[in-house]
Amino acid sequence: MIPGHKNLTLRYTFFVLIMALLAIAVIVKAGIIMFAERQYWKDVADRFVRENVIVFPTRGNIISSDGKLMASSLPEFRIYMDFKAGGVKKDTMLMNHLQEICEGLHRIFPDQSAAEFRRTILKGRKAGSRNYLLYPKRISYIEYKEVKKLPVFSLSRYRSGLHELAYNQRKKPFGSLAMRTLGDLYPDTALGAKNGLELTYDKYLKGEVGITHRQKVRNQYLNIVDKAPVDGCDLITTIDVDMQDIAEKALVDQLTNLEAEAGVAIVMEVKTGEVKANVNMTRAGDGKYYEMRNLAVSNLMEPGSTFKTASIMVAMEDGYITPDYEVDTEKGIVNMHGSRMRDWNWYKGGYGVIDVTKILEVSSNIGVSKIIDHFYGDNPQKFIDGLKRMSIDTPLELGFTGEASPRILGPKERYFAKTTLPWMSIGYETQIPPIYILNFYNAIANDGKMVKPKFVKAITKDGDIIKDFPTETVNEQICSEKTLEQIRAILKSVVANGLAKPAGSKLFSVSGKTGTAQISQGKAGYKSGGTKHLVSFCGYFPSESPMYSCYVAIQAPKASPSGGVQAGSVFSKIAERVYAKHLFFDLAQAKDSTSIMIPDTKNGLKSEITYILNELDIDCNEPGDEIVWCKTANGSNSVQLSELNTNEKSVPNVRGMGAKDAVFLLEERGLRVRISGMGKVVSQNIPPGSTVRKGQTITLTLRQ
């Protein structure tokens, strides 16, 4: 045995143990620096010279055509506390003002009590943390400025210990409205845009980054700007917020009623091609509808009967048919090159001999396919050329990610068979995105001139237009004036006399065409897993002097499919509400100067009623100051107000009130309110004066 071996082993073991403890200490300290003290050391680093620090610009705003902010970059913050900053002096001030600080934080963030803030601060102080999160959520710039006004926190970050982590967050004031059209940014905004207008016009919106460095000047470190950041430009879109809201509500209500899978609604200004509304809704797992994809520009679907208009126009333009040309549709079922083709009423015996106008009014598959097969069966390319003359397949290149272009088979292409032409003529064997169908009908409304749909009007910087987007023409004249005159008369009759009656309006005339198509499941065919349908309506209004064109499509409704009833009714609601925006009456012409106009006044809160009446310069009596809720009665020259009994233990009489006041008054008494209709309350299912039972549901019926 080596002399002193035990001593050597002991010393070696002791040395290894010391080294291991040092290694552990280094790892622990590194972890503390990396995580617990990360913000502190970043702040320390900020005090010294830093070269080429990137300063990100503010991203430009996206603004609606009516001047409303649709997307904007706003700062958000997380607030932290360095309890070791400022030394004993700061710590003493913090404890002296602790109650005041906690109450102030509770006032700014009411979801957390003053006692909870007190526990948070004391816990961080006890731990001696340099980067302790004071509030778990991100806060707005306004909230941050309010926090900075509190005692101690109003001092500089190195004296108070309060510091922040800033985020540049993209906000959409109107929530999901036109969300897929506007597009999104990546969570890390420095990575830029993902889709929509945000991506298409990213180079204008993102601006240019700046560069700074820190330099010591007279014993102070200053941020020296080497290159100032250039903020992004603003994007003025063609979207009208009110029209978007109108279209979205009308579509979502119908989708919900039909339990459909998805739907699209697009509104376009006829002369300019400006897209005023673009709604793309898909049902999610929770049964609600959200904008997930821009279906209007990316969804390749067989258009169905809306395509029949194009087929008939080709035959008219080539001089083969007129609106009076007759076709024998037989008993609603015919053999078309070995395959059966049916009209929707085949079980009733079909339509027999009908003319072209009637063919489109009743959307006869047999009528259209017989015409096209008869005149173009030996030369399908001539029919395809006729479609191309009308630019229905011309790529629009709108600039959206995932944008699709029409696919129309030619006779020399694979899978073009004898049955292709007749089925193509009625909207199968082709795939066309919704925006292309709308653009075709818009050209019919626009006296034959096809313009390119546009989503952006201008790009501005500091209020000045730096780039304008004029209306682009795709095709100066898609057909002759004669064909145009004939097809416009037919489309008007389709709504007035045909299957598209639900799309019409009593206020103005509407022109358009319905569509009902089976949805192909690819190689699985049309009936795999049950037959699904796409119902649609495309048209324009008013017929005589068209202002807007509109396309509505609903995918896989859980009801007997009908383009007129299901999609046409949505079109009608959109058209009437959009048209109402443009009704301007000269009241001076309508008002009798010898009479006093007293408007219909709803029951409600006395302060609001009297304020409105005073603003309109309408006389009313002044009930006592103790009266809060009033009944109204119109006199010949004034409005009479009287007290409305609102006993807290009984159900109040809310008849004659608007929804807002009625709901407030009833919910204040613990009742649950269900509303049906619009306008003012005309009935309530629990009689006034009944004893209030909290949690009971009361149904209110409203009418205009």
Q: What confidence tens digit (pLDDT) does each residue in 551-597 have?
A: 999 998 888 888 889 999 999 999 999 998 876 544 455 455 455 56
- Report the distance separating Cα 132 and Cα 256, nearest Å: 47
User: With 50 as the cut, is the pLDDT of residue 641 above it?
Assistant: yes
Question: Which residue is associated with the tokens 């989708």?
Answer: 255
DSSP conformation class of 222:
E
3-state percent breakdown (helix, strand, coil) of the chain, nearest 5: 35, 25, 40
DSSP conformation class of 32:
I
- Report the distance separating Cα 502 and Cα 510, nearest Å: 10
SS (H, E, C) 671-703: CEEEEEECCEEEEECCCCCCECCCCCEEEEEEE
Instruction: For the sheet with 680-684, list strands across it.
Output: 672-677, 697-703, 680-684
Q: What is the pTM of this model?
A: 0.71
Position 530 scores a pLDDT of 54
- Report the distance separating Cα 536 and Cα 526, nearest Å: 18
- Report the distance separating Cα 166 and Cα 157, nearest Å: 14
Tokens of 601: 């006044």
218's CB contacts (< 8 A; 6+ apart) are none
| DSSP notation for 80-135 | EE-TTTTHHHHHHHHHHTHHHHHHHHHHH-TTS-HHHHHHHHHHHHHHT-SSEES-
For residue 185, count other CB atoms closer than 10 A to its CB. Answer: 24
Position 587 scores a pLDDT of 46
Average pLDDT, the chain: 86
Cα torsion 85, 86, 87, 93 to 10°: value is -120
Confidence of residue 5 (pLDDT cuts 50, 70, 90): low
| 179 vs 55, residue with greater confidence | 179
- Report the distance separating Cα 657 and Cα 335, nearest Å: 62
Tokens of 305: 């009967």
What's the distance, CA 109 to chain centroid? 30
| 5 vs 16, residue with greater confidence | 16
Confidence of residue 216 (pLDDT cuts 50, 70, 90): low
Closest C-alpha among 639, 642, 616 to residue 629: 642
User: With 70 as the cut, is the pLDDT of residue 158 above it?
Assistant: yes
**Is residue 455 within 8 Å of 297, Cβ to Cβ?**
no
Tokens of 426: 């009625």
Beta strands in 329-429 (DSSP E): 333-336, 339-342, 353-355, 407-408
Question: Which residue is associated with the tokens 């059209």?
Answer: 181
3-state secondary structure (DSSP) of residue 136: coil
**Is residue 164 within 8 Å of 77, Cβ to Cβ?**
yes
For residue 698, count other CB atoms closer than 10 A to its CB. Answer: 21
User: With 60 as the cut, is the pLDDT of residue 246 above it?
Assistant: yes
Position 474 scores a pLDDT of 96
Q: Phi/psi zone of residue 97: left (φ > 0), alpha (ψ -120 to 50 degrees), beta?
A: alpha
Least confident among 536-545, 550-559, 596-605: 596-605
Is residue 542 reached through a cis peptide bond, with omega within 30 degrees of 0 on the bond before it? yes
46's CB contacts (< 8 A; 6+ apart) are 214
Question: Which residue is associated with the tokens 């590194």?
Answer: 30
First-to-last C-alpha distance (Å) of the chain: 110
Position 44 scores a pLDDT of 60
Question: Which residue is associated with the tokens 């006592």?
Answer: 624
| DSSP notation for 484-528 | HHHHHHHHHHHHHHSTTGGG--SSS--EEEEEEEEPP-GGG-SST
Position 597 scores a pLDDT of 63
What's the distance, CA 308 to chain centroid? 31
- Report the distance separating Cα 606 and Cα 313, nearest Å: 62
Confidence of residue 699 (pLDDT cuts 50, 70, 90): confident
Position 87 scores a pLDDT of 86
3-state secondary structure (DSSP) of residue 218: coil
- Report the distance separating Cα 432 and Cα 444, nearest Å: 18
- Report the distance separating Cα 552 and Cα 565, nearest Å: 12
For 302-345, the pLDDT digits (tens) are 899 999 999 999 999 999 999 999 999 999 899 998 889 999 88
Position 576 scores a pLDDT of 93
Position 282 scores a pLDDT of 93
Position 606 scores a pLDDT of 77
Position 3 scores a pLDDT of 58
What's the distance, CA 294 to chain centroid? 10
Position 214 scores a pLDDT of 66
Taking each continuous run of H as one helix and of E as one strand, the counts in the chain are 23, 32
User: With 80 as the cut, is the pLDDT of residue 9 above it?
Assistant: no
**Average pLDDT of the segment spanning 630-659:** 80
What's phi and psi for 645, nearest 5 deg?
Answer: -70, 120
Closest C-alpha among 536, 563, 574 to residue 299: 536
Position 651 scores a pLDDT of 85
- Degrees to nearest 5, angle at CA 544 with 541 and 546: 40
Output the CA–CA distances (angstroms, integers) from residue 292 to 141, 237, 299, in the order listed: 30, 20, 12
**Average pLDDT of the segment spanning 368-378:** 94
| 120 vs 224, residue with greater confidence | 120
- Within 13 A of 663's CA, how many CA atoms are on the CB side? 10
Residue 544 CB-density burial (10 A; 0-12 exposed, 13-18 middle, 19+ buried): exposed
Q: Which amino acid is at 189?
A: T
- Report the distance separating Cα 632 and Cα 643, nearest Å: 9
For 476-493, the pLDDT digits (tens) are 999 999 999 999 999 999
User: With 50 as the cut, is the pLDDT of residue 251 above it?
Assistant: yes
**Average pLDDT of the segment spanning 106-129:** 92
| 605 vs 202, residue with greater confidence | 202
| Dihedral (CA of 340, 346, 352, 354) sign | negative
Pairing of strands 132-133, 275-283: unpaired
3-state secondary structure (DSSP) of residue 357: helix
285's CB contacts (< 8 A; 6+ apart) are none
**Is residue 297 within 8 Å of 404, Cβ to Cβ?**
yes
Confidence of residue 517 (pLDDT cuts 50, 70, 90): confident
For 277-304, the pLDDT digits (tens) are 999 999 999 999 999 989 999 988 889 9
Position 50 scores a pLDDT of 57
Closest C-alpha among 201, 212, 120, 431 to residue 302: 431
Least confident among 6-15, 409-418, 557-566: 6-15
- Report the distance separating Cα 675 and Cα 28, nearest Å: 62
